[in-house]
Chain A
Amino acid sequence: MAPHPVLTLHAATLELGERRLWSELELSVEHGEFLAVLGPNGAGKTSFLKVLLGLLPLTSGAVRIEGISPRRGSSLVGYVPQQRGFDAELGARGRDLVALGVDGHRLGRPWPSRETRRRVTAAIDAVGAAGYADAPIGRLSGGEQQRLRIAQALIGDPGLLLCDEPLLSLDLNHQQAVLDLIDDRRRGHGTAVLMVTHEINPVLPLVDRILYLASGRWAIGTPDEVMTSACLSDLYGTEIDVLRVRQRIVVIGAAA
């Protein structure tokens, strides 16, 4: 495993207009690590991903991915966006979506090269989506669409996979299938995973650490360190109860 971290943030602060989303953030993510990003709506979770995608600059501080500043279109980063269904008559197949992950940003002839087609087929097989990759993508279920999204994000073999609420609106079986895919990848290829999520419980068995963003502040640590009444009460500045019910965590008193 490579000695250097995949992602480092140092004294990172992000403000949007007048609002300070988080400040002086210190974070280092290793290869193969699974980091969940939690927090209430508006805490700056999606903005955090945008910083890593090079779509939003930090207000101050430094961020490095594999040692370099994030930039748009970097092949070091794979991105699974918020699950939003495709239009039923979109006029594209899953295969086309995955292929756009390879060369969709490049100008040039409209049809994919033989090499691109080979890689697309391999990526589709790797996520077990071969059975429906040629159907109109808008007609697929949320779980099927999400598998194809993961194939699209992983086809460039990124060192860091960013997922924004990839489990939203999936039933428990499909949630688990999507998580298994992501988990296999990080174990097999050392891909670091950074997942923004509302819901800690489905990812709890896989998560190494949690970054919790709330009220302009942040906390980082293992689930046992962060998901405690003391830690979250301190973060929110109000009384929060964190209960452990069997294998699940229930947070009472917070928005999420």
Chain B
Amino acid sequence: MNVTTYLQLPFAQHALIAATVIALISGLIGPFVASRDMAFAVHGAAELAFPSAAAGLLIAGDAVNGALIGSLVVATAIGLLGERQSERNTAIGVILAFGLGLGVLLLSYYHGFAAEATNILFGNILGVSTHDIEVLCGIAVLVVAVLAVLYRPLLFASIDPDVAAARGVRNRLVGLVFVYLLALTVTAAAQIVGTLLVLSLAITPAAAARRLSANPLKVTGLSVLFALVAADGGLLLSLQYDTIKASVFITFISFTLYLGARCAGVAGARGRPAGTARRPAGLPPSPSGCPR
């Protein structure tokens, strides 16, 4: 079997849709994750999808919805405990350690087939159901809609928080909304690429994009493009070479794109005069300056 015959089958079609939707929203949030320095929040939210899934499995027999509801709890905890940027990573570490312990405990009470919870650790892109796709599309519509409306205040609060606050941006509220978007996106992505590899879609494409442009809208566009290439490309390659998992190809492609962008960025920076201090022309000597 090769990729074209696989794509006749529903499971492969579902996987392609899921990969595309996840790449889109991961690529969208990526630049903000980078400018808000929240890579660890992505990692924490992704890993905490595991205890949430275990809880969902135990309480309602539904790992996916458990993970999504859990992500909102996690986002609230990160938002409340890690209000200041300097203490946020510590707060996430604290929540993460406790959450994972809780997940192991919950799983020990569950006597059914636990693959649904462990799936979330490594991802199972080939086991996506129609229901999963509906949930995923619902999340994607929400994330895209909120980001489209919130884009400017979020950008302002991310790159220039002091002036943003003075201009009337509610930095804390905007930040909290973003943590919710991040947790939902990451949890949805975790089910497909696995919690351990979410970073390759939510961070690496944006990191590559930031090497190539400083225009925020272009960075966002490139980030989405790179995430799509990695996710869809990785899936199609795994269908072609079916001994290797899709998540492996996804991480490899996104890392390759990042390396390429770094090289291109270095070449680009050499071609441009460095932004060093230039003395304004025609400036008289400072009247208050002491002669040296």
Contacts and interface: CB of A to CB of B under 8 A. Distances in A.
A107 B152 contact: yes
Given A106-B153, A172-B288, 10 more contacts: A73-B167, A91-B31, A93-B215, A100-B160, A104-B169, A105-B152, A106-B152, A110-B151, A143-B277, A176-B284
What are the 9 A-B residue pairs with the smallest beta carbon separation, nearest first? A73-B168, A104-B156, A136-B214, A110-B151, A141-B277, A139-B275, A81-B162, A172-B286, A72-B168
B155 interface: yes
Contacts of A140: 275
Given A104-B153, A135-B275, A172-B286, A91 B210 contact: yes
A135 B272 CA distance: 9
A73 B164 CA distance: 8
B120 to A, nearest CB: 31
Interface in A79-129: 79, 81-82, 86-87, 89-93, 96-97, 100-101, 103-111, 128
Contact-size category for B: 35 or more
Contacts of B217: 110-111
Contacts of A201: 288
A247 B35 contact: no
Nearest to B211: A89
A89 B210 contact: yes
Contacts of B277: 141-144, 171, 174
A175 B286 contact: yes
A135 B166 contact: no
B287 interface: yes
A119 B280 CA distance: 23
Contact of B35 (A82, A91, A107): A91
A53 interface: yes
B275 A103 contact: no
B168 A105 contact: yes
18 contacts: A73-B167, A81-B162, A81-B166, A87-B35, A91-B210, A100-B160, A101-B167, A104-B167, A109-B151, A110-B148, A110-B152, A139-B275, A140-B275, A142-B277, A149-B163, A173-B283, A204-B288, A247-B288
A153 B150 CA distance: 22
B278 interface: yes
A53 B283 contact: no
Given A139-B275, A141-B278, A172-B289, A108 B149 contact: yes
Interface of B: 31, 34-35, 148-153, 155-156, 159-160, 162-169, 209-211, 213-217, 219-220, 272, 274-280, 283-284, 286-289
Interface string A137-180: 10111111000010011000000000000000001111111000
B145 to A, nearest CB: 12
Nearest to B206: A91
Contacts of B274: 139
Nearest to B284: A176
B12 to A, nearest CB: 34
Contacts of A93: 214-215
